[in-house]
Chain A
Amino acid sequence: MSELQQVLTTTFVVGLFAAGMRLAIPIFLAALGEIITERGGVLNLGLEGIMLVGAFGGFAVAFYAQEALPAGAQWLAPWLGLAAGAAAGMVMGLLMAVLAVTLQTDQVIAGIMLVVLGTGVTTYFYRQWFGSLTARVESLPPVPIPVLADIPVLGPIFFQHDLMTYLSLAILLAGWYFLFRTTWGLNLRAAGELPAAADTSGVSVSAVRYAAVLIGAALTGLGGAVLTVAQLGIFSEGITAGRGWIAVALVIFANWRPGPAFAGAFLFGLATALQFRIQALNIPSLPYELLLMLPYVLTILALLVNSGASQAPAALGKPYVKE
C-alpha cells in the first residue's frame, strides 16, 4: 500500500474530522468572545494571554478539586475547572476593560501587555505550585448521543464528543442570538459602530463596552480551560501555542460573524488534526517542523483569501470621547 492510500481510508478521514471538531473548540470559543468584544468597539489583542490564564486557572482548580472532592463527586472537578477558566479570563478582561475603556490607553499596547502578563504569570505560578511534578487532571469523557452516534460517518464526527463540545455548539447559537436578536446585542453593535449614537440614545457606552470585554474574556478563558481541562488534561508553559492569536485572525476571516468563525475554527482543527496524524505516520521525507508550521501558514492564507472584504466595526479600537 502506498502512503497516500494509507492516508485516505474511511476510518482515517472520519477520525480526522472528529478530531478536527474537538480541536476547533478552544479556538472557536476565543474567536466568538473576540467577535462580541470587537462588535462592541474594543480591540482586545490579549486573547493569547487571557487564554493562557484561563488554561492555567482552570487546570489548577480542576487539579485541586480532584484532590479535595470525595470519590462520588469527582465528576465535578473538570466542570469547576472550566468555570474557573472563564472566571480567570474575566479577571484579565477586567484589566483590559479598565485599560481600554476607563483609562483609554492605546488598545494595541494594552492587548500586548495582557499577552506578556498572561505568559509571565502562568509560567510563574505553574513553576511555583506544580514545580517538577507532572500534574494531570482527568479530562472529560466522551458522551455519545443515543441513536445519532450510531449513524455511520456523521455519528463519530459530530455525536461522540464530550459534553463541552456540545455545549460549545449551544454557545455558538446563544452568541448569535445575543448579537443579532436581542436589544443588548443591538446596543453592543451600536457602541461598536457609532458610539455617539448609542450614547445619545441613552445607552451607556462604557457599560456596554465593559460587558463586551468581560463576556469576550470569559469565553476566551473558557476556551483555554477547555484545552487543558477538557481535552489535554495537562498544563505546560505557553501551552496555547498561538491559538489566541489565531482566534484574533479568525475574527477577521469570519467578518465578525459567529457562524463563519466556527467554520474557520473547524478548518484549523482539521489542519491541526491532519498534522498530528501525518506526524504519527512518521514519513521521513516530510519533516515534522513543516507540519507544525501548518496552522500558522494557514492563518496567513486565510487572511489573504479574505483581504479587502473585511467589514470591521467602524469604531473598532477607538476610545469613546464625548465631543
Chain B
Amino acid sequence: MNANIPPRLTMRGVRKTFGPVVALDNVDLTVARGEVLGLLGGNGAGKTTLMNVLFGLYKADAGSIELDGRPLAIPSPRAAIDHGIGMVHQHFLQVNDFTVLENIVLGADLPNRPTMRTGEAEARLRALSQQFGLDVDPHAPLGDLPMGVRQRVEILKALYRRADILVLDEPTAVLTPQEVDELLAIMRRLADDGRAIIFISHKLHEVMAVADTIAVMRDGRMVGTVAPADTNPAALSRMMVGRDVLLTTAKDAATPGPVKLDVRGLTVHDDRALPAVRELSLQVRAGEIVGIAGVEGNGQRELEEALGGLRPVAGGRIMLGAQDVTNASPRAVFNAGLGHVPSDRYKTALLRDFSIADNLVLETVDRPPFTRRGLLRRQAIAANAVELIKRFDVRTRSPRTQVAKLSGGNAQKVVLARALSHNPDVLLVAQPTRGVDIGAIEYIHRELVARRDAGMAILLISTELDEILNLSDRIIVLHAGEVMGEAPAGAAAVDVERLGLMMAGTRQTELDAAHG
C-alpha cells in the first residue's frame, strides 16, 4: 500500500459525552479503500456511538473526521450520505408498508423528482444486485421478507447511494450461521471492489474470519489495533474485557427435581395472526436452567409472552406446577408462581417515570404490608426498596430516584430483584443481559445460578449463544417457532456446529440420520 495516499477515512480524537457519562474518549480510527476493518467491543464499549458520530446522528464534543485526508464536518445523515458513507443499522430502519424499491429510494435523489417514476432506479438496483450477488425482488412488500433478505436491502440501499464507506453494525445478530458465511463473503467482495468496510461485532470468530485489521474498543476508548494473523481469540477477548475471565460462571452439576413448568403442544400467533410458535413442548424441572437458543425472530418473543400471560394461546397447554395457566391473565400466572423478567425491560417491565421503590411493588402494591386498611403504607414500600437495592446491588443514590435515570444494568437489577423478591417457583428470563454492562452481566449470571442451586426452575430465553452455553443445564434450539432438538449439559459437552445447524433449521433427527 502506498503510504502517500491518505486513507479513505480517518477519525481523530473523537470525544462524546451524554451528561456526565463519557461514551467516547479520544477515539482514533482509520480505514483504507479495499480494507475490511473489524470493530470489536462488548456491550456499551462505544462502537455504535462512534458510528453514529460518523453518520451525523450525534455531534461529537471534540475530534475530527477526514475523508481522503481532507477534514470535514458531518452535521447530518444527509451530509454523511453525500460524502459516500453508508450505514447498515443493527435494527433495520425499514418501513414495513413500503416495497423494497420504495425503501431504497427513500430520501435518495431520483432522476425526475418529485414524481416517482422509478424505472431508472429499478434498473440500477437490479444491476447492483447482480454485481454483488444480493438477490431481491424490488416490488416485494418489505414487511413479508425474511431477515436475511431485509439485510440485503439495507446493503443495497447504501450501495444505491454510491456509498464507498460501508458500516455494518452487528449485522450477524439476526442471521443463522450459514447466512453469516454468505454475508462475510459479500463483505469481502465489496472490499475487493475498492470500498472501505467497517464491520462492527462482538463475535470474535466472525471478525477474525473476514477482517484485514481489527480495532478493539472498551469503555469508550480504543484499546488497540491488530492484524488477525498477529492475534488469537483469547488475546482479543482480553482486550475487550480488560482481564482474562470471560463470562464463565462457575457452577456445579444440576440436581433437577420435579417438573415445575410443563408446556405441551403450544401454538402461539404473532401480531399478524400467523403462527409464530408451533406445537412446542418443553419441561423445566426444579433446580435446572433450560436455555432456549435460536436466532432472533424465531418465536422467542411470542413464546415468552404466551408463558407470561401477555399473549393469547392458540393451541396447547401450559401447566405451572399443578395449575393450568393456559390463557390465564398475567395476574393469575403471577399468583401461580411465575416470575417473569421480560426481554424489553423498559417497554414491558418498568414505569420509567415512577421511582425505584414504586417499581419494586408493581405486582404487590395492593397487598400487605404495602397496603393496610385500603391505604398505601409509604414506609413499607420504602423499606422494601432499601432492602432489595442493597441485596441486589442496585447502584442508585436513593430509592426515590426515577427508574429512567438508571443505567441499563441497574434497571435490569431492579426487574430481577422484583421478580426474585416474590420467590417464584418458575423464573422466566428473556434476554437478561441485553444492553447491560459487563459487571452487571456477571452479577446477573451468578444470581441465576444461585437460584437454580436453591431449587428454582429457570427458563432462559436468549439470542446470545455464549450466555446460553454458559448458564444452561439443557439447551433447546428454536427455529421458526419449532423445537429443532435438544442438547444436554454444560458448555464443554456441546457441539456448537450442531447447534448452529439446528438454529438454521435442521432437525436433530435429520442430523443424526446424516451422521449415522
A interface residues, Cβ below 8 angstroms from B: 181-184, 186-187, 189-190, 193-194, 196-204, 314, 322
| CB-defined contacts of B77 to chain A, threshold 8 Å | 199-202
Alpha-carbon distance A161/B97, docked complex (angstroms): 38
B116, A202: Cβ atoms closer than 8 Å: no
A197 and B115 contact, CB distance less than 8 A: no
- Can you list 16 residue pairs at the A/B interface with Cβ under 8 Å? A181-B116, A182-B113, A182-B114, A186-B102, A186-B105, A189-B97, A190-B98, A193-B96, A193-B98, A194-B93, A197-B106, A198-B107, A200-B55, A200-B93, A201-B106, A201-B108
Name which of B57, B77, B110 has the most chain A CB atoms within 10 A of its CB.
Answer: B77
At the interface, yes or no: B78 with Cβ under 8 Å from chain A?
Answer: yes
In Å, the complex CA distance between A7 and B315 comes to 56
| Chain B residue contacts of A314, Cβ below 8 A | 96
Contact status B114-A201, CB under 8 Å: no
Min Cβ gap B437→A in Å is 18
The 3 A-B pairs at the shortest CB distance, nearest first, are namely: A201-B107, A202-B78, A197-B93
| B57: nearest chain-A partner, CB-CB | A322
The answer to whether B95 has its CB under 8 Å from any CB of chain A is: yes
**Minimum Cβ distance to chain B for residue A187 (Å):** 7
User: Told that A187-B106, A202-B78 touch, could you supply 4 new A-B pairs with CB distance under 8 A?
Assistant: A183-B110, A193-B97, A194-B96, A199-B77
Q: Chain B interface secondary structure, helix, strand, loop or mixed?
A: loop
Q: Which chain A residue shows the least CB distance to B94?
A: A197
Taking CB atoms, residues of chain A closer than 8 Å to B105 are 183, 186
Indicate if B76 sits at the interface (CB-CB under 8 A): yes
Q: For the complex, what is the distance from the CA of A203 to the CA of B114, rounded to whole Å? A: 14
Kindly report which residue of chain A lies nearest to residue B55, judged by CB atoms: A200
Is the beta-carbon distance between B115 and A200 smaller than 8 angstroms?
A: no
Which of chain A's residues have a CB closer than 8 A to the CB of B115?
181-183
A192 CB to nearest B CB, Å: 9
Complex contacts, B106 vs chain A, CB 8 Å: 186-187, 190, 197-198, 201, 203
Q: Is the CB of A196 within 8 A of B93?
A: yes
Kindly state the separation between the CA atoms of A198 and B108 in the bound complex, as whole angstroms. 10
CB distance from A131 to the nearest CB of B (A): 47
How far apart sit A184 and B87, CA to CA, in the bound complex (Å)?
Answer: 23
**Across the interface, which residues of B come within 8 angstroms of A198, CB to CB?**
106-107
Which of the residues A184, A189, A196 comes within 8 Å of B114, measured between beta carbons?
A: A184
Tell whether, in the assembled complex, residue B57 and residue A182 are in contact, meaning their CB atoms are under 8 Å apart.
no
Which residues of B are interface residues toward A (Cβ below 8 A)? 55, 57-58, 76-78, 81-82, 87, 89, 93-98, 102-103, 105-108, 110, 113-116, 157
CA distance A204 to B81 in the complex (A): 13
- B96-A183 in contact (CB<8A): no
Residues of B within 8 A of A203 (CB): 78, 106-107
Query: Do A182 and B116 touch (CB < 8 A)?
Result: yes
CA distance A200 to B91 in the complex (A): 12
Smallest Cβ-Cβ distance to B91: which chain A residue: A196
**A201-B106, A202-B107, A203-B107 given; A194·B116 CB < 8 A:** no
List chain A residues, Cβ under 8 A from B93: 194, 196-197, 200-201
Which of A183, A193, A199 touches B95 (beta carbons < 8 Å)?
A193
- CB-based nearest A residue for B114: A182
Indicate if the CB atoms of B95 and A190 lie closer than 8 Å.
yes
A203-B95 Cα distance, complex, nearest whole Å: 14
- B124 smallest CB distance to A (angstroms): 16
- Least CB distance from B18 to A in Å reads 11
Name the A residues within 8 Å of B95 (CB-CB): 189-190, 193-194, 197
Residues of B within 8 A of A202 (CB): 76-78, 81-82, 107-108
Residues of B within 8 A of A201 (CB): 77, 81, 93, 106-108, 157
**B116→A204 contact, CB < 8 A:** no
B73 CB, nearest partner CB in chain A, Å: 16
B223 → chain A closest CB, angstroms:
25
C-alpha gap A17/B103 in the complex (Å): 43
Min C-beta distance of A6 to chain B, whole Å: 50
Rounded to whole Å, the gap between the CB of B141 and the closest CB of chain A is: 13
Task: List, in ascending order, chain A residues with CB within 8 A of B107's CB.
Answer: 187, 190, 198, 201-203
**Could you tell me the distance in whole angstroms from the C-beta of B116 to the nearest C-beta in chain A?**
6
Residue of A nearest to B106 (CB): A201
Interface centre among A187, A193, A201 (most CB of B within 10 A): A201
Chain A residues with Cβ below 8 Å from B113 are 182-183
* Distance of A314 Cα from B95 Cα, bound (Å): 10
CB distance from A277 to the nearest CB of B (A): 42
Distance in angstroms between the alpha carbons of A199 and B52 in the assembled complex: 12
Closest to B82 in A: A202
How far apart are B298's CB and chain A's nearest CB, in angstroms? 23
Residues of A within 8 A of B89 (CB): 200
A309 to chain B, nearest CB (A): 13
Assembly CA distance A154 to B93 (angstroms): 49
With both beta carbons as reference points, the residue of chain A lying nearest to B112 in the complex is identified as: A183
- Which residues of chain B come closer than 8 Å to A197, judged between CB atoms? 93-95, 103, 106
Q: Which residues of B contact A187 (CB under 8 A)?
A: 106-107
Cα separation A199 to B89 with both chains bound (whole Å): 12
| A197–B154 CA distance with the chains assembled, in angstroms | 11
Q: How far is the CA of A22 from the CA of B204 in the complex (A)?
A: 69
Q: A186 and B116 in contact (CB under 8 A), knowing A198-B106, A201-B77?
A: yes
Do the beta carbons of A204 and B78 come within 8 Å of each other? yes
Bound CA span A196–B113, Å = 22
Q: Which residue in chain A gives the minimum CB-CB distance to B102?
A: A186
Measured in the bound complex, the distance between the Cα atoms of B110 and A187 in whole Å is 13
How far apart are the CA atoms of A271 and B31 in the complex, in Å?
68
A255 to B325, CA, bound (A): 37
- B94 in complex: contacting residue of A184, A189, A194, A204, CB < 8 Å: A194
- Complex CA gap A231/B113 in Å reads 38
Query: CB-nearest residue of chain B relative to A177?
Result: B115
**In whole angstroms, how far apart are the Cα atoms of A99 and B516 in the complex?**
69
CA distance A74 to B81 in the complex (A): 54
Separation of A200 and B87 alpha carbons in the complex (Å): 8
A41 to chain B, nearest CB (A): 12
In the bound complex, residues from chain A placing their C-beta under 8 Å from that of B76 are 202, 204
Instruction: Please name all residues of chain A whose beta carbon is closer than 8 Å to the beta carbon of B94 when the two chains form the complex.
Output: 194, 197
Cα distance A189–B102 when bound, in Å? 11
From A184, A200, A322, residue with most partner B Cβ within 10 Å: A200
Contacts of A200 in B (CB 8 A): 55, 57, 77, 87, 89, 93
Q: How far is the CA of A138 from the CA of B96 in the complex (A)?
A: 50
Give the distance to chain B from A275, nearest Cβ to Cβ, in Å. 38
User: Across the interface, which residues of B come within 8 angstroms of A183, CB to CB?
Assistant: 105, 110, 113-116
In the docked arrangement, what's the CA distance between A201 and B97, Å? 16
- CA A203 to CA B116, docked complex, whole Å: 16
CB closest residue in chain A, given B87 = A200
Q: Which residue of B lies closest to A311 (CB)?
A: B97
What are the residues of chain B within 8 A of A186 when measuring CB–CB? 98, 102, 105-106, 116
A137 to B358, CA, bound (A): 61
Q: Closest Cβ of chain B: how far from A206's Cβ, in Å?
A: 11
With both beta carbons as reference points, the residue of chain B lying nearest to A196 in the complex is identified as: B93
Query: Considering the chains assembled together, what is the distance between the CA atoms of A187 and B114 in angstroms?
Result: 11
Please measure, in the bound complex, the distance between the C-alpha atom of A187 and the C-alpha atom of B106, giving whole angstroms.
6
Interface centre among A182, A187, A190 (most CB of B within 10 A): A190
